[in-house]
Chain A
Amino acid sequence: MHKIATTIVDWNAIREDFPILREQAHGHPLIYFDSAATSQKPRAVIDTLRRYYERENANVHRGLHTLSSRATEAYEKSRQRVAEYIGAASADEIIFTRGTTESINLVAQAWGGKFIRDGDVILLTVMEHHSNLVPWQLLAERTGARLRFVPVLDDGTLDLEQLPSLLTSEVKLFAFTHISNSLGTINPVAELCVKAHAIGALTLVDAAQSVGHLPINVRELGCDFLAFSGHKMCGPTGIGALYGRAEILDSMPPWHGGGEMIVSVTLEKSAFKKAPHRFEAGTPNIAGAIGLAAAIDYIERIGRPAIFEHDSQLAHYAAERLAELPGMHILGPREQRGALVGFVMDAAHPHDLTTFADQYGLALRGGHHCNQPLMRRFGVSGTTRASFYFYNTTEEIDRMIEILRDAVRFFS
């Protein structure tokens, strides 16, 4: 099905699905190159949210009335949809969260709190987003565990030659990003999972930058946990998911207490539901989950192989064109790049560049991208990032080059 889609996608028609792309910024047509921060939303998702609030809104899992049944059914169907989308064996392996950050914190607190002891090691990489670093620092502080890091090479890839000396028997979890949000590096997830499992460690994959861009099957990747956000893949903000292998989720205690996650409660103690509901205390983001399922439907209609091909082409074209500019330093690997390019220009600081670009309707991101240790690794305080999605075009990239060329002239 996906293979057929690659040949018939009309990318210009797809732009029509995104109302916001008709917006102007400072009197110029909007060029949105910040999808790695958050993607734009197609009308199908926006309409789904409205329809939910107009026709289905009620609380889930407790009301016996019609609307509550509708809401519950739609919410649980969304969980099933997420499970299928990432190749999970069962919907019970999908916990709805606020996003990647909350998913990782859930693992750090519920799993880490029970299984991590003084002297254990959590292995991370130097390219992790703060969301896959700070929760582990907090866990290490609480438990006496230590953190170790796989270094990053000058070309923006992981220094895999160091893995054997880092992946020792003290390592209980190897948590790493699928695609770097600053470098665009695509990490070899399946290979890393095999190596971690060989020494008995579990694996957690931060899929924030990959889940909307390329096909993902958790059973083929072999990861134990996978965390992602809905809003970077055409879905609403405030919804995301954690995939956890069933037997691992079943071994984990709750992390938030409250309604929805209990079987019975006395004044002294409570009995908890099984996963995933054990981990979803309180009224969940029902509309968000349903909106996320609508985003999945939308993405699947185009097909992830086609999206990946399109996004990669844009990123490679952008890297190629950016290299034409004077004093340009592009971060990250030349081959195998995710849908973004991070760069530093001698002529101007990232914040000056992004302020300049914004006046021409071009939305770039400047700063450390929640990657301060990685910025230090490359000896910069920040970069400028152009990130793409399937609604972007090569013409927009050409326009970016013109604007940046003007910026070089202006600031030099």
Chain B
Amino acid sequence: MIPEIEELYQEVILDHSRRPRNFGELADAAVRVHGDNPACGDEIHLGVKFDASGGLEDIKFTGHGCAISQASASLMTMKLKGKSRAEVTEMLRAFHDLVTDEISEAPKTLGDLRVMKGVRKFPQRVKCAMLPWRAVEQALEQGAGEASVSTEPA
């Protein structure tokens, strides 16, 4: 097998794309964000519930898309559940750097998310990895109700 392929599609990523975690409707979500990548038709519907201090109490997603976007969403929801607003913002920045090659060493705080590092060698796939993160960013900004976000600004 070709090393770049194995680095991009690590076993963890394939596993999360086949069996995404936190996949489903969040019944009592405070905010729902519909994210789409019009370039490929991928969609993610993210539901977020906040705790009293504004942190992410619960987060779930549905949707369809490539292995990268699905695994990224699955890994992201696992990582962000229970995190404070500040931690989420910091994680978002660190993850963006991770997949766009702006850092040499991935920060340990990213934990499992570091398996997404292979994306940096595939610039056309960065939007796939970032789609769920754009949705969570929008969820924080919006705070309540419905919102949508796209990888292609209209």
Contact = CB atoms under 8 A, between A and B. Distances in A.
A349 interface: yes
The 6 closest A-B pairs by CB, nearest first: A381-B41, A349-B66, A351-B66, A359-B2, A352-B67, A382-B41
Interface of B: 1-2, 4-5, 8-9, 14, 39-43, 64-68, 122, 124-125, 128
Contacts of B64: 381
B67 A348 contact: yes
Contacts of A349: 65-67
Given A352-B67, A381-B42, 15 more contacts: A26-B2, A348-B67, A351-B125, A351-B128, A352-B68, A355-B122, A356-B5, A366-B40, A368-B41, A375-B41, A381-B41, A381-B64, A410-B1, A410-B5, A410-B9
B8 to A, nearest CB: 7
SS of B interface (majority): mixed
Contact of A351 (B5, B40, B43): B40
Interface in A341-366: 348-352, 355-356, 359-360, 366
- Which of A368, A372, A381, A411: most chain B Cβ within 10 A? A381
A26 B8 CA distance: 15
User: What interface size band does chain A fall in?
Assistant: 10 to 19
Interface of A: 26, 348-352, 355-356, 359-360, 366-368, 372, 375, 381-382, 410-411
Contacts of A359: 2, 4-5
Contacts of B125: 351, 355
A238 to B, nearest CB: 23
11 contacts: A349-B65, A351-B40, A351-B125, A352-B66, A355-B122, A355-B124, A359-B4, A381-B42, A381-B65, A410-B1, A410-B14
Contacts of B8: 355
- Which of A351, A382, A411: most chain B Cβ within 10 A? A351
Nearest to B4: A359
B40 A382 contact: yes
